[in-house]
Structure 1
Amino acid sequence: MVKVLFVAGEAAPFAKTGGLGDVIASLPKELRNQGLDARVIIPKYSDISEEYKRRLLPETVVQVPVSWRLQYCGVEKLEHDGVPFYFIDNEYYFRRAGFYGHYDDAERYAFFCRAVLEVLPHIDFQPHVLHCHDWHSGMVSVFLHAHYRGNPFYERMKTIFTIHNLKYQGVFPKDILINLLDLNWDYFTVNGIEFYDQINFMKSGVTFSDLVTTVSPSYANEIQHSYFGEKLEGVLANRHNDLSGIINGIDYEIYNPATDPNLFINYDGKTAKRKNKNKLELQKMLGLPPDINKPLLAMCTRLVEGKGIDLVLRVLNEILDGDVQMVILGQGDEDYHHTLWQASWIHHNNLSVIIPYRESLSRKVFAAADLLLMPSRYEPCGLGQLIAMRYGALPIVHETGGLKDTIQSYNEFTGEGNGFSFTNYNAHDMLYTIRRALIFYHDKQLWQKLVQRVMRTDNSWTNSAKKYRQLYHSLFMEEHVYKAATASPKISVPPDLDEFVPDYTQFVPAKEILYAH
C-alpha cells in the first residue's frame, strides 16, 4: 500500500483561508477510498475550533532544531472523515490569531517544515511520499536533501510539491539561511533557493522536489510564461518534464444540494425546480424583491484584484440596468468593500453585497443562483465553478487556468457546453457574455436542460485522485524499470502498480528488491 503524507499550512474544517484548505481535506479522503494510506499534517493553530481541540489525542513530544536552537514540538492526532490528521503544536509559533501574515512567518514555517521531518520516526507512520502544498511546506524537500538523506529512515522517501497559487511565494531575507534554515551558502544559488538576493520558499519546493504539480493543466502551461509566472517562469520551464497539472475536485458528500443542511430546501437533479424556492427565500432574506423569474447572478469570491473585481466595477451599472439581480459575497481589500457597499445602496432593489464571507451563507447563494460570475484575471483551478454546477448554477468565466479546463461555453448551434466564457480580459467582453447568458436564461425549456446537464457533471475527486495515484507510482517507476533492464530476463515490472511500491519498513536496498513472475 502506498503511504502518502500531505504537508500543508491549512486543512478544512480545522483551518481554511481558501481552496487549499478544501483540497487538503478532500483529496486524502478520496485517496484512502482508492486504497492508499493518505494522512495529513498541519500546524495546530489557536483559531482551530474548540470542538476539534477537545478531541485531539497526544501522540509524542520531540525537540526540533531551528538552526542552533531546539524548540518544543508536540504532536497531536485526530481522525476526521476517516483521515488521520496530525497537528504540530508549538504555542510560541502558532498560538496567535490568524494563520499567515505575521512578522516571523519565515521562522514559523521553517520550524513547521523541519518538525514534519523530525516527528516521522515517532508517529508510527513512514510515508513513501511527502506531498507538500504551497510555500508553507516548501522547505521540506530542501531539509530532506540537506539534513536527512544520510539517515536510512528517510533515504528513499520521495517528494511532490503542488502549487495552488503561484502569487504567494514566501519570500524572506537571505539572513535566515544560516540563522533559521541551518543551510550553507551552497544552497543560496540561482539553481537553488536564491531569488533576487532573497530566499523563496515556493522556489525551494519547486527546485528540490522530485515532481511538481499544479491544480489544472492550463495553469501548468501558463506559469511557464512571464504573464502568469510571477518571476518563477524560468524555474518552472526548466522543470517542464517534471511538471504536470491535475484539476481539483470537490467533495460530493459535503457539497450536495440533496443533503446540505445550510439550504432553505434541499433538491437534486430530479427535483431541480425546487431550486426556485431557495431563490425566493434568499431574495427575502437579503431584501431583494422576490421574483423566481428574475435571473440571479452571484459572485462568491475573495474581493481582490486577481478575481476580476475591477472588471465588474467597470460595468456594474450596465449589468444592473438589465433585468437581473446580483448577490456578491466575499471579503478582501477595503477599497472594494466600500465601493461595493456604496453601489448596493444605490442599486438596493437588485444588488446585495454581503461582507464578510460566511461558508453557510455561500451554500444558500449557490443554491439560489442561476448564474455564477468568475471573471478572474488568473485562476489556478477554481472551486467556485465546480460547486456552482453541483448546485445547478451555470458559470460565467474568463478563459484562464482551471476555468478554461472545466467550463465549455454553450454553443447554441451544436447544443454543447456547460456554461459561458469570454477570452479577453476585458470588462465589455464580460458584459457581452453576461447578456448572452441572460438571453438563454429566458428560454425556460433550454435553461432547464442546461441545469440538468451541469448537475449531472462529475466534478468529484474520483478521476483526479486516480491521476495522483499514477503520479505517486511514477516516482518509483524509474527504479524498477532500471532493475528490470539490468536483471534476469525473467524479472520485469509487474502490471499492478501497487505491487512495486516497496515495503519500506525495513528499508531494503533497492538492488535487493526483485520481482519475478
Structure 2
Amino acid sequence: MRILQVSAEIFPLLKTGGLADIAGALPLALAAAGQEVRVLLPGFPAILAGVKGLEPVADFQAPWGEPARLLKGHIATAGAPDVPTYVIEAPGLYNRPGNPYEDANRQPYADNHRRFALLGWAAARIAQGLDPEWAPELVHAHDWHAALAPAYLAFADWTGQPRVPSLYTIHNLAYQGVFPPWTFTELGLPHTAFQLNGLEYHGQVSFMKAGLFYADRLSTVSPTYAGEIQTPEQGFGLDGLLRSRSYTLHGILNAVDDAVWNPAADPLLAAPYDVRRPGGKTACKAALQQKLGLAVAPDAPLFVIVSRLTEQKGLPLLLEGLDALLAQGGQFALLGSGDGWLEDAFRRRAADAPDSVSVTIGYDEPLAHQLFGGSDVTLVPSLFEPCGLTQMYGLRYGSLPLVHRVGGLADTVVDTTLEDMAAGISTGFTFDDFSGEGYQRAMRRAFALYARPADWRRVRATAMRRPADWGTAAAKYIEVYKWALG
C-alpha cells in the first residue's frame, strides 16, 4: 500500500513529545513490513534543515490564497532505508524560532489555525495528484495538527479517480485544536461542514472533531485509552461522538524504537547492559549521580521523571510525596518543563536538598537516556495517559515504572502483587486511587522490593524482557489500513 503519514513533528528532526517518536518509528516499521510510506511535514526550520536533498515538486495555494510550495526529499536513518519526505515550504507560517506551536511567552500562535490547516490541505492535495509521480492510497493523519486532512478528503472532488480514505490517530484527546468561529471562513471547507455533524464544537471550530467525524477509521495509542475516551470522565466533550463511531475505533499500543532505545547499544550511556548482563547499569547509576551532583550512593534507590510539568502528569503528587521519598533514603531526579509554578516548586526542592534532589528544566535527549539508564524507578503518576512512552523506556532500561493505572500505563505495567510476582509477570508498581495516599502506597512497595535485591533483579529482568516492538504495532496498523480501504 502507498501510505502518506501526516504529522507536525518527527524524531530525530523535531521533537516536543511522544508524537515525534511515533511519527519517526512507524514509517520505518511499515516499510520493513513491505509498505510504501512517505511522510508530510510542515516546513519548520528544524525540518527544512534536517530533510536531505529537498527539491521542489509543485507550487500551490492555501485555501485563503497564501502561496506555498511542496518540496520532496528524504530523512536519513541509520541502518534502515531513508524515509521519503514531503515538506511544506511556507516561510510566513513556519519560519519562526523556538517552539513550533507557541511564541516566546508560551502563548499559541494566533494563526495556528492557518499553519495546521495548510498541513491537512497539502495532504489532500497530494492525495489528489499534486505530485504527478506519486499519490497515496491512504492518508494517515496524526493528532489535531493534521486533523483537517480527513475533512478535506471527505469534501474533495474525486471525479475520474478513486477516493482516498483516511485513518486519524488520537494521541491525546485533551489537546483538540479549538479556534474561534471566524477562522472557519479561511479553511476552504463548505459551510455545511460547520455544524454539529462536522467541525462545530460549542460554537467554535474543532480540528480534532474534524478528524473524528470525517476519517474513515480512527485509532488511538492504547486499548485501554480507546475505552476511556468513550466515557464522560475522559472524553473531553467528544465521548458521544466517539461512542457513535466506536465500530471504527482501534486501540493500538505504541512501541519502542529499538534502534534508539536499547541499553545494550546506547552510545549515550556510561556503560552498556542488557537483561543477561545487567552489570553496566551500576556504572550508569554512578555516572548519573555524579553528573547531577547527587550523592554517589549505589544503595539509594533513584527515582526519576521525564515529563511535561503539568498537573495532568501527576506532578503535585510527586511534590506531596517527596519528603517521604527522601526520608526513606531515596533520591529524586527530574527532567522537564511546563507550568511555571511547578518548575519553581521543584527548583526550590532541589536547592533545599542538592545531594538528594536534581531538577533540570527543559529537555535534553542525552540526559533522558541517562536518566532511564541510571535510575531504579521511573515515575509516571499521570491523571490520564493515552499511552505513555516514558514507562516503556523505563521497562526497556530496567528502571521499574511506578504508574497510575490508566490508559496505556494499565496496558504496559503489571504491579508487584504477591500473585503476579509468583507468576513471574510483575514489571513495576501501580496505584488506582489518584491521590497522595495511593501514590505513596505504591512508592512504599517500591522501597520494600528494593530492600529484597534478588526479587528486585527478578522483576527488573521481567520488565526488560517485555516485548514492545514496532513490528507488532505496524502489523495492526496495516490491518486497519486494509479495513479503511475496504
Which residue number corresponds to residue 502 of structure 1?
A: none
Which residue among 83, 107, 113 is the counterpart of 1:106?
Answer: 113
Which residue among 170, 178, 192 is the counterpart of 2:177?
Answer: 170
For residues 108-257 of structure 1, the aligned pairs below 5 Å read 108-120=115-127, 121-123=129-131, 124-146=133-155, 148-153=156-161, 155-178=162-185, 180-257=186-263
Secondary structure of 1:413 counterpart: helix
- Contact 1:64 1:111 survives alignment (8 Å): no
Q: Please give the alpha-carbon distance, in whole angstroms, between the structure 1 residues aligned to 2:66 and 2:346.
A: 49
Which residue number corresponds to residue 451 of structure 1?
A: 460
1:76 equivalent to 2:85? Answer no
Q: 1:467 to 1:395 in 2, by over 3 A?
A: same
CA apart distance, 1:191: 1.1
- Contact 2:385 2:409 survives alignment (8 Å): yes
- Contact 2:126 2:135 survives alignment (8 Å): no
TM value normalised by structure 2:
0.94
Secondary structure of 1:425 counterpart: coil
Q: Please give the alpha-carbon distance, in whole angstroms, between the structure 2 residues aligned to 1:72 and 1:367.
A: 44
CA apart distance, 1:422: 0.2
Per-residue displacement from partner, 1:137-172 (whole Å, max 9, x unpaired)?
1111111122x233434x321100000011111111
CA apart distance, 1:28: 1.1
Q: What amino acid is aligned across from residue 460 of structure 2 in structure 1?
A: V
1:91 equivalent to 2:91? Answer yes
1:36 equivalent to 2:40? Answer no
Which residue number corresponds to residue 504 of structure 1?
A: none
Q: Please give the alpha-carbon distance, in whole angstroms, between the structure 2 residues aligned to 1:159 and 1:394.
A: 37
Secondary structure of 2:176 counterpart: coil
1:272 equivalent to 2:281? Answer no
Per-residue displacement from partner, 1:230-268 (whole Å, max 9, x unpaired)?
111111111111111110001011101111111111112
CA apart distance, 1:17: 0.8
Which residue number corresponds to residue 483 of structure 1?
A: none
For residues 306-325 of structure 1, the aligned pairs below 5 Å read 306-325=312-331
Q: Please give the alpha-carbon distance, in whole angstroms, between the structure 2 residues aligned to 1:171 and 1:414.
A: 43
1:62 equivalent to 2:70? Answer no
1:20 equivalent to 2:28? Answer no
Which residue among 463, 469, 473 is the counterpart of 2:472?
Answer: 463
1:393 equivalent to 2:399? Answer yes
- Contact 2:199 2:209 survives alignment (8 Å): yes
Q: Please give the alpha-carbon distance, in whole angstroms, between the structure 2 residues aligned to 1:188 and 1:221.
A: 27
1:6 equivalent to 2:2? Answer no
Q: Please give the alpha-carbon distance, in whole angstroms, between the structure 2 residues aligned to 1:77 and 1:256.
A: 28
1:357 equivalent to 2:356? Answer no
Secondary structure of 2:96 counterpart: coil
Q: What amino acid is aligned across from residue 358 of structure 1 in structure 2?
A: D
Q: 1:174 to 1:28 in 2, by over 3 A?
A: same
Which residue number corresponds to residue 347 of structure 1?
A: 353
The count of corresponding residues between Structure 1 and Structure 2 is: 470
Q: Please give the alpha-carbon distance, in whole angstroms, between the structure 2 residues aligned to 1:343 and 1:173.
A: 40
Q: What amino acid is aligned across from residue 75 of structure 1 in structure 2?
A: L
- Contact 2:304 2:379 survives alignment (8 Å): yes
Q: Please give the alpha-carbon distance, in whole angstroms, between the structure 1 residues aligned to 2:47 and 2:6.
A: 17
Q: Please give the alpha-carbon distance, in whole angstroms, between the structure 1 residues aligned to 2:218 and 2:351.
A: 47
Per-residue displacement from partner, 1:204-224 (whole Å, max 9, x unpaired)?
010000011110111111111
- Contact 1:328 1:352 survives alignment (8 Å): yes
Q: 1:157 to 1:74 in 2, by over 3 A?
A: closer
Which residue number corresponds to residue 492 of structure 1?
A: none
Which residue number corresponds to residue 404 of structure 1?
A: 410
CA apart distance, 1:312: 1.1
Q: 1:445 to 1:220 in 2, by over 3 A?
A: same
Per-residue displacement from partner, 1:68-123 (whole Å, max 9, x unpaired)?
x2512231311432221211111111101221121100111112211222245243
Per-residue displacement from partner, 1:288-312 (whole Å, max 9, x unpaired)?
1111111111111111111000111
Secondary structure of 2:124 counterpart: helix
Secondary structure of 1:344 counterpart: helix
Which residue number corresponds to residue 431 of structure 1?
A: 440
Secondary structure of 1:103 counterpart: coil
Q: Please give the alpha-carbon distance, in whole angstroms, between the structure 1 residues aligned to 2:467 and 2:420.
A: 21
CA apart distance, 1:362: 0.6
Q: Please give the alpha-carbon distance, in whole angstroms, between the structure 1 residues aligned to 2:158 and 2:3.
A: 21
- Contact 1:165 1:380 survives alignment (8 Å): yes
Which residue number corresponds to residue 473 of structure 1?
A: 482
Secondary structure of 1:189 counterpart: coil
1:286 equivalent to 2:283? Answer no
Per-residue displacement from partner, 1:416-448 (whole Å, max 9, x unpaired)?
311110001011111111111111112111111
Q: What amino acid is aligned across from residue 469 of structure 1 in structure 2?
A: I
Q: Report which stretch shifted further, 358-367 or 108-117.
A: 108-117
Q: What amino acid is aligned across from residue 375 of structure 1 in structure 2?
A: P
TM value normalised by structure 1:
0.88
Q: What amino acid is aligned across from residue 295 of structure 2 in structure 1?
A: P
Which residue number corresponds to residue 300 of structure 1?
A: 306
- Contact 2:41 2:47 survives alignment (8 Å): no
- Contact 1:177 1:184 survives alignment (8 Å): no
Q: Please give the alpha-carbon distance, in whole angstroms, between the structure 2 residues aligned to 1:378 and 1:319.
A: 23
Q: Report which stretch shifted further, 72-81 or 226-235.
A: 72-81
- Contact 1:41 1:85 survives alignment (8 Å): yes
**Can you give the 5+ residue segments of structure 2 that lack an aligned partner in the other structure?**
102-107
**Can you give the 5+ residue segments of structure 1 that lack an aligned partner in the other structure?**
478-517
Secondary structure of 1:24 counterpart: helix
Secondary structure of 1:381 counterpart: coil
Per-residue displacement from partner, 1:316-344 (whole Å, max 9, x unpaired)?
21222111111111111111111001011
Per-residue displacement from partner, 1:23-58 (whole Å, max 9, x unpaired)?
0000111111111112211111013474x25x3320
Which residue among 415, 419, 422 is the counterpart of 1:413?
Answer: 419
- Contact 1:325 1:351 survives alignment (8 Å): yes
Secondary structure of 2:350 counterpart: helix
Moved over 6 A (4+): none
CA apart distance, 1:65: 3.5
Q: Please give the alpha-carbon distance, in whole angstroms, between the structure 2 residues aligned to 1:302 and 1:65.
A: 33
CA apart distance, 1:414: 4.3
Q: RMSD of the alignment, in Å?
A: 1.4
- Contact 1:14 1:49 survives alignment (8 Å): no
Secondary structure of 2:140 counterpart: strand
CA apart distance, 1:59: 3.6
Q: Please give the alpha-carbon distance, in whole angstroms, between the structure 2 residues aligned to 1:369 and 1:99.
A: 31
